[in-house]
Amino acid sequence: MAITEVILVGGGGHAKVVADCLQSQGTIVKGFFDPHQGNLLGLTCLGNYQSALHTDVPVIIAIGDNAVRERIARHEVKHRYFIAQHPSVICSQYATIGEGSMLLHGAIVQAGAVIGKHVILNTGSQVDHDCVIGDYVHIAPSAVLCGGVEIGEGALIGANAVVRPKIKIGKGVVAGAGAVVVRDVPDYAIIAGNPARVLKFNEPK
Ligand SMILES: CC(=O)SCCNC(=O)CCNC(=O)[C@H](O)C(C)(C)COP(=O)(O)OP(=O)(O)OC[C@H]1O[C@@H](n2cnc3c(N)ncnc32)[C@H](O)[C@@H]1OP(=O)(O)O
């Protein structure tokens, strides 16, 4: 089997988890691009984000911040994007996964789910049947999306949140850690609690 090489864009905490995930799936992480040139599991820093424009090795934008990940994907880096999928992930053969997405340790994706581009399905998150997840979304650790949930572009579903079946969550929404989402959520709302209520709204992009 051919050994795949990948380069990460980003060198923070999320990149650390993604690098570990990639190595666990047998992929060689050649290094990372990061303006801060931090220490990432002993990997080689290859320069800042601009340097990433010049690589032809497949890339993953391993940055947890949805807006930054989107900005880099849209404007700065034009690449072949790789999908990270830890060996512990359970992903239905009837699900589709967009380029650049990261399915981290223990995530579960069920039949009929459609996952967009550059999405993070973080540790132990669950995306059940027929969910539709927009580009640049982050489903945080242990969050649970019941069947048929729709999540708009760039939303963050916080750690351990639960979303009831067939709920529609707008773009740019932030659902707080532990939120229990029982009704549809408008674009850019920040919600929290059980049942989740709107705290305020983010500025639309
Ligand atoms: C690997 C990883 O680390 S992935 C990381 C994933 N990230 C997360 O899960 C974090 C998600 N973010 C949150 O939960 C945040 O607390 C947010 C977005 C809900 C709110 O953040 P902020 O806008 O900064 O609000 P702030 O902290 O000022 O709190 C505002 C009020 O909401 C309450 N509140 C904040 N978060 C929550 C929450 N998760 N559940 C219930 N209430 C909350 C606060 O107690 C406060 O109440 P008060 O006004 O009565 O004092």
pLDDT one digit per residue (tens) for the chain, 205 residues? 566 899 999 999 999 999 999 999 999 999 999 988 778 999 999 888 766 666 788 999 999 999 999 998 987 556 789 999 999 999 999 999 999 999 999 999 999 999 999 999 999 999 999 999 999 999 999 999 999 999 999 999 999 999 999 999 999 999 999 999 999 999 999 999 999 999 999 998 7
Index of the ligand 1 atom closest to the CA of residue 14: 1
Judge contact between 175 and 185, C-beta under 8 A: yes
Residue 31 CA, ligand 1 centroid: distance in Å: 34
CA-nearest residue for atom 21, ligand 1, is 176
CA distance 42 to 194: 42
Could you write out the DSSP letters of every residue in 61-97? E--S-HHHHHHIIIII---PBP-EE-TT-EE-TT-EE
Residue 80 CA, ligand 1 centroid: distance in Å: 35
CA distance 151 to 154: 9
pTM (two decimals): 0.96
Helix (H, G, I), strand (E, B) or coil at 21: helix
Q: Delineate the domains of the chain, giving CATH numbers in brackets.
A: 5-76 (3.40.50.20), 90-197 (2.160.10.10)
